[in-house]
A and B are shown apart, each in its own frame.
Chain A
Amino acid sequence: MSAQEQARGELSAHVREEIDDWLARYPEDQRRSAVLGALRAAQHEHGYLSTEIMDAVAEYLRIPAMDVYEAASFYSMFELRPVGRHTIAVCSNISCMLRGADDLIEHLEKRLGVRLGESTPDGKFYLKREEECLAACCGAPMMQVDHVYYENLTPQRVDEILDSLES
């Protein structure tokens, strides 16, 4: 997907195929139901959901654009502005907090040089403000990096995980 396609709000064949797959699971008059699956596919390809992309999803689903804006802005899993390529989300809810999540966050902020909710200037990392709890209390403290759970963390372990990520 080129930058131009993104700016014009065009969905790639792959995204359209994935949306079709979601649409097939709902009745024809309930196309709105496919909006979450469609947005996930679009975000996976573009990294975030620009207004243009949301409009394209709405057009493809033949539903009002507002329906898409509402769904996309409601769920914290959808990003509405450009973010770093790797999303790091540290849980700081009760179990993780008791097991040192705050130290992990402080360590990450120092290492990456950004605050919670910001992306690194090189566009590699995005330190997400997680809306918790990620349901891994038995392995607290934990973080999620690009959909993968890492548990029983220490600052050293966090460094190893980040070092192991490509570009």
Chain B
Amino acid sequence: MSQDLVTLEIDGRTLQAPKGAMLIDVADEADIRIPRFCYHKKLSVAANCRMCLVEVEKAPKPLPACATPVMEGMKVHTRSPLALAAQQGTMEFLLINHPLDCPICDQGGECELQDVAMGYGQSVSRYTEAKRVVPDKDIGPLIATEMTRCIHCTRCVRFGEEIAGVRELGGTGRGEHLRIGTYVEHTMSHELSGNVIDLCPVGALTAKPSRYQARAWEYRQSPTVAAHDGVGSNLFVHTHNGRVIRVVPRENESVNETWISDRDRFSYAGLDADDRLRQPRIKVDGVWRDATWEEVLERCADALRSAAPERVGALLSPSLTLEELYLAQKTLRSLGVADIDHRLEQVDFRDDAAAPLFPWLGSTIEELERADAVLLVGCDPRREQPMLAHRLRKAALKGARVSTIHAHDLDLSYPADAQLSGNTRTQVLHLAGVAGVLAESGKKLPRLLADLVAASTTEDAAAIDARSRMAAALAESPQAHLLLGGDAIASSEFSALRALAGWIARTTGARLGYLASGANATGAWLAGCVPHRGVGGHSAESAGAHVRAQLEQGRDVFLLAGLDPERDLADPILARKALTDAGFVAALTAFSSPVLDAVADVLLPVSTAFETSGTLVNAEGRWQSFNAAASAPGEVRPGWKVWRVLGNLLGVREMDYLDSRTVRDELRAVLPEVDFGNDIDLRLAHAEVPPAHEGLVRMQVRGLYATDPLVRRAGPLQASPEGRRQDTVRLNPQDADGLADGQRVRLRQDGCETELTLVLDASVPPGVALTVAGSAALAELGPGGGIVTLAAA
């Protein structure tokens, strides 16, 4: 190692650094502060702001520390007269065109330009000429622009090119006329676009929903964890008088690096939604009124006491904290209730026995970026798990072969190795085709899969080629991953996909992983919130009924937690019928909704993840605990406390928790050495050849901003292009049948009907009508996978 190190001196301190390291990194490591604007450790070196000029002995002029590699014997001065003069000169040029509007600038107080001007600039400006003014363009509901303040560091431009993979911002014009922007009217739509707000060293790009809400020094900063996907990005929440004003990333290299998705950044905007519940509510003779906690909890306890345990069903959101989920099942199981499920979107439970102890990513998040091959089945990473999509992109840029089998061809932001798309049956057969290729190469195919593989034969040369590429990539790569995404898990043929994926993974040595929807799906399995498994994956004493069976059979009492029934449950019509027919429905929820108003008997207002302490277990099995970051409005209480009090009322033993930490520790202590295995026992698996469909099949895919009740109420996210996508149905142009792109259409399925905007989209395969799961417009329809017809509205 020693020959890879060089010795150099910065400001009189002798340092050792790896050969080729940049001076600015070495100085940062040694806590020697060098001013900078364009440099960012996650972006390429641009060296265009010139702020980091330092004196290097024997160099004829000051050198930019961000672009100067360290060399043996180098002597650097960051505060010598020459360095200071260079820094002052740069600062003076940067300030020439910068407006003096700091008092009305959102960045004021946390502005890198202010800080560096204070530290390295002069106190007077010699510039008396006119300053340039740059007109702004509206770039969407998330990011406010004030481009006159821009100092052309190009961090945002490099972010788009290097991290996002979509060049939405660029630098047009030259010299004095250079401006950073979109050139045309364009709404920033990338799922990570909000990160340019943090990257911008000045107030040119700021968070639009937070604009003019508070000053940087007035915020209270609390660390927390994002509760919208399986990554669990680390966050800082900034509150003012207990209200969340904005959310920024908290650096954690192994989870979210320095980034967060727009979903995690702006979901807080839903906290103040009009339908936020602030008081317990009770329905008496069909009329809602406010109530006390005692009243609603007694009412729930009465209902649970008087109902037969097997006539009680509990449907829990996979985004609830571990503590809520654990206490919910503890309370209910102690009453003899076994029908507990968090798999709200799942419809195929035929292979429940084959499920691993807890389905998880199958690797760490960091390992994903070292993958050589990835096959994504029913997984749209950019919409389901944006920060994982970023890791996959890094892998792809290093040469990983990424392929997809999905309802439509995905825009991955890098070229896919192969893409296959189609309806549920077609997707299963494509995956069976991949298995078939492996079987032909001599791998012994189990009997279970023989029919599927036989049915998968096709004459389509493109499909044959794609399947071969997928099989080869998995088989040839030292580190391959096969990931089943939220759309696969929600598929009506999930069991077949899982059986195929299990065999393919085992045969090729690929790692099998699951990317379930929700922030705590992994935790829900560990906490025993599935009907057939108890805490830690032990088989439940008596297996209960899964979500679909509960809804189909009906129950006298339903407990719902953290969900909008018409948008979170796979079959909104079935859900509404079951809930309407139930004798008693209680909902622990942060929000009311028209359907809850209609079907529920009591509404218990509980905190969102921003307002409660708790733990989320992310897709890689990482436990992340946090405290409440904001105060909840009105009479809202944390969910774990509500379950605890309900447990107390029902006489559940050992329910005297004083804080959520004790709950977590109790769960942790009873967890066995958990087996981190996703391996599938094919003897327990199920695989059938899916039935063929005649006609246009409505496929549902996870939407970026339709994931959970809070996100659905976040106005800025809903106003973005991805939010509006929920109101569309997408067809291949050849299926248009006289209908025009952009026109409102009526979509009919099984006698039910809804209105959507038609988008003709060549990435959708013929025969598929693509809709977004969780869309408000689909609340009056049956489950995805049905046959639909379209007509002009």
Task: Report which A residues bind B (CB closer than 8 A).
Answer: 51, 64-67, 69-70, 73-76
Is the Cβ of A67 less than 8 Å from the Cβ of B170?
A: yes
The answer for the CA separation of A74 and B166 in the assembled complex, in Å, is: 21
23 contacts between A and B (CB under 8 A): A51-B183, A51-B184, A64-B166, A64-B167, A65-B183, A66-B160, A66-B167, A66-B168, A66-B170, A66-B182, A66-B183, A67-B167, A69-B170, A69-B183, A73-B172, A73-B173, A73-B174, A73-B183, A74-B172, A74-B173, A74-B174, A75-B174, A76-B174
Complex alpha-carbon distance, A121 and B184, angstroms = 27
CB contacts (< 8 Å) of A67 on chain B: these are 167, 170
- A64 to B164 Cα, complex, angstroms: 13
CA gap between A64 and B166 in the complex, in Å: 8
Q: Which of chain B's residues have a CB closer than 8 A to the CB of A65?
A: 167, 183-184
Q: Does B47 contact A (CB under 8 A)?
A: no
The docked-state distance in angstroms from the alpha carbon of A51 to that of B184 is: 8
Closest to B168 in A: A66
Residues of chain A with a CB closer than 8 A to B166's CB:
64
For the residues of B in contact with A, the DSSP-based class is: loop
- What's the nearest-Cβ distance from chain B to residue A109, in Å? 23
Q: Does B169 contact A (CB under 8 A)?
A: yes
Q: Is B171 an interface residue (CB 8 A)?
A: yes
A residues near B173, Cβ cutoff 8 Å: 73-74
The chain B residue sitting closest to A55, CB to CB, is B184
Within the complex, the shortest CB–CB distance from B165 to chain A, in Å, comes to 10
In the complex formed, the residue of A with least CB distance to B172 is A73
Question: CA separation between A65 and B174, bound complex, in Å?
Answer: 18
A136 CB to closest chain B CB (Å) equals 23
How far is B758's CA from A63's CA once the two chains are assembled, in angstroms? Answer: 28
Chain B 711-767 residues near chain A, CB threshold 8 A: none
Report the separation of the CA atoms of residues A131 and B62 in the bound assembly, to the nearest whole angstrom. Answer: 31
How many A-B contacts at CB < 8 Å in the complex?
32
B170 touches A70 (CB 8 A): yes
Q: Fill in one digit per residue for B127-170: 1 if any A CB lies within 8 Å of its CB, else 0.
A: 00000000000000000000000000000000010000011111
Q: Tell me whether B184 and A70 are in contact (CB under 8 A).
A: no
Residues of B within 8 A of A75 (CB): 174
Question: How many whole Å from B175's CB to the nearest CB in chain A?
Answer: 9
Which residue of B has the minimal Cβ distance to A67? B167
**Residue of B whose beta carbon sits closest to that of A76:** B174
Chain B residues near A76: list those with CB within 8 A: 174
B403 to chain A minimum Cβ distance, whole angstroms, is 20
Bound together, the chains give a CA A65 to CA B166 distance in angstroms of 10
Which of B168, B170, B182 is the most central at the interface, judged by chain A CB atoms within 10 Å of its CB? B170
**CB-CB < 8 A to B183: which residues of A?**
51, 65-66, 69, 73
B412 to chain A, nearest CB (A): 15
The smallest C-beta distance from A70 to any residue of chain B, in angstroms, reads: 5
Chain B positions within 8 Å of A64 at CB level: 166-167
Q: List A contacts of B184 (CB < 8 A).
A: 51, 65, 69
Sample of 5 further A-B pairs with CB below 8 A, known A51-B183, A74-B174: A64-B166, A66-B169, A66-B183, A74-B173, A75-B174
CA gap between A65 and B170 in the complex, in Å: 10
B174 closest partner in A (C-beta): A74
Contacts of A66 in B (CB 8 A): 160, 167-170, 182-183
| Separation of A67 and B174 alpha carbons in the complex (Å) | 14
Closest-by-CB residue of A relative to B184 is A51
| Interface set, chain B 476-504, CB cutoff 8 A to A | none
Complex CA–CA separation, A44 to B395 (angstroms):
42
Once bound together, how far apart are the Cα atoms of A51 and B183, in whole Å? 9
CB distance from A64 to the nearest CB of B (A): 4
- CB contacts (< 8 Å) of A70 on chain B: these are 170-172
Kindly state the separation between the CA atoms of A76 and B168 in the bound complex, as whole angstroms.
Answer: 23
Give the distance in Å from the alpha carbon of A67 to the alpha carbon of B168 in the complex: 10
In the assembly, what is the distance between CA of A70 and CA of B174, in Å? 9
Minimum CB distance partner of B165 in chain A: A64
**Once bound together, how far apart are the Cα atoms of A69 and B169, in whole Å?**
11
Interface residues of B in 222-254 (CB under 8 A from A): none
A67 to B166, CA, bound (A): 11
Q: A75 to B168, alpha carbons, bound, how many Å?
A: 21
Rounded to whole angstroms, the CA-CA distance of A76 and B173 in the bound complex is 9
Indicate the member of A51, A64, A67 with the most B CB atoms within 10 Å.
Answer: A64
CA distance A103 to B172 in the complex (A): 33
A131's closest neighbor in chain B, by CB? B174
A51 proximity list for chain B (CB < 8 A): 183-184
- Nearest residue in A to B169 (C-beta to C-beta)? A66
Q: Which residue of B lies closest to A70 (CB)?
A: B170
Complex Cα distance A70/B171, Å? 6
Q: B762 → chain A, closest Cβ, in Å?
A: 13
Closest 6 pairs (CB-CB, A-B): A66-B170, A73-B172, A64-B167, A69-B183, A66-B167, A70-B170
What CA separation (Å) do A75 and B175 show in the bound complex?
Answer: 11
The closest CB in chain A to the CB of B157 belongs to A66
How near does chain A come to B763, taking the closest CB pair, in angstroms? 16
Alpha-carbon gap, A69 to B167, bound state (A): 11
- Chain A residues in 8 Å Cβ range of B174: 73-76
A24 vs B184: C-alpha distance in the bound complex, in angstroms?
30
Question: Within the assembled complex, what's the spacing in Å between the Cα atoms of A37 and B182?
Answer: 23
Per the bound structure, the CA–CA distance linking A31 and B182 in Å amounts to: 22
The smallest beta-carbon distance between A59 and chain B, in angstroms, is 13
Smallest CB separation, A128 vs chain B (Å): 15
Q: Which residue of B lies closest to A75 (CB)?
A: B174
The CB with the most chain B CB atoms within 10 A, among A66, A69, A73, is that of A66
Q: Which residues of A contact B171 (CB under 8 A)?
A: 70
User: Least Cβ distance of A81 to chain B in Å?
Assistant: 13
- List the A side residues contacting B168 at CB < 8 Å: 66
- Cα(A64)–Cα(B183), bound, Å: 12
> CB-nearest residue of chain A relative to B161?
A64
In angstroms, Cα B171 to Cα A131, docked, is 20
Nearest A-chain residue to B185, judged by Cβ: A51
What separation, in Å, do the CA atoms of A23 and B512 have in the docked complex?
42
Nearest chain A CB to B157 CB, angstrom units: 8
- Give Cα A145–Cα B190 distance, bound, in whole angstroms: 45
The B157-210 residues at the A interface (CB cut-off 8 A) are 160, 166-174, 182-184
**Which residue on chain B has the smallest CB distance to residue A64?**
B167
Provide the residues of chain A in CB contact with B160, threshold 8 Å.
Answer: 66
* Distance from B684 Cβ to chain A, minimum over Cβ atoms (Å): 47
A66 to B172, CA, bound (A): 9
**Cα(A77)–Cα(B170), bound, Å:** 20
Question: B residues 91-127 with Cβ under 8 Å of A?
Answer: none
- Residues on A with beta carbons closer than 8 Å to the beta carbon of B167: 64-67
With A and B bound together, what is the CA distance between A66 and B168 in angstroms?
A: 7
Give the shortest distance, in Å, between B592 (CB) and chain A (any CB).
44
Separation of A162 and B184 alpha carbons in the complex (Å):
36
Please measure, in the bound complex, the distance between the C-alpha atom of A69 and the C-alpha atom of B181, giving whole angstroms: 11
Instruction: List B277-299 residues whose CB lies under 8 Å from chain A.
Output: none
**Docked pose: A66 CA to B171 CA in angstroms:** 8
**A74 cross-chain contacts in B, Cβ below 8 A:** 172-174
Once bound together, how far apart are the Cα atoms of A66 and B174, in whole Å?
15
Tell me, rounded to whole Å, the shortest Cβ–Cβ distance linking A129 to chain B.
12
Give bound CA distance, A65 to B183, whole Å. Answer: 10
Residues of B within 8 A of A73 (CB): 172-174, 183
Q: How far is the CA of A69 from the CA of B171 in the complex (A)?
A: 9
- Cα distance, A77 to B270, chains bound together (Å): 50
Q: How far is the CA of A70 from the CA of B157 in the complex (A)?
A: 11
List of B residues within 8 angstroms of A69 by Cβ: 170, 172, 183-184
Q: How far is the CA of A67 from the CA of B160 in the complex (A)?
A: 12
Q: How far is the CA of A75 from the CA of B166 in the complex (A)?
A: 24
* Cα-based distance from A74 to B171 in the complex (angstroms): 9
In the complex, A106 Cα to B183 Cα: how many Å? 34
- B170: chain A residues at CB < 8 Å are 66-67, 69-70
Chain A residue nearest to B179 (CB atoms) is A73
Q: How many Å from the CB of B643 to the closest CB on chain A?
A: 51
Query: How far apart sit A51 and B173, CA to CA, in the bound complex (Å)?
Result: 14
- Chain A: minimal CB distance from B308 (Å): 62
Closest chain B CB from A133 CB (angstroms): 16
Least CB distance, B121 to chain A, in whole angstroms: 30
Q: Which of B169, B182, B183 counts the most A-chain CB atoms under 10 A from its CB?
A: B183
Most chain B C-beta atoms within 10 Å of own C-beta, residue among A65, A67, A75: A65
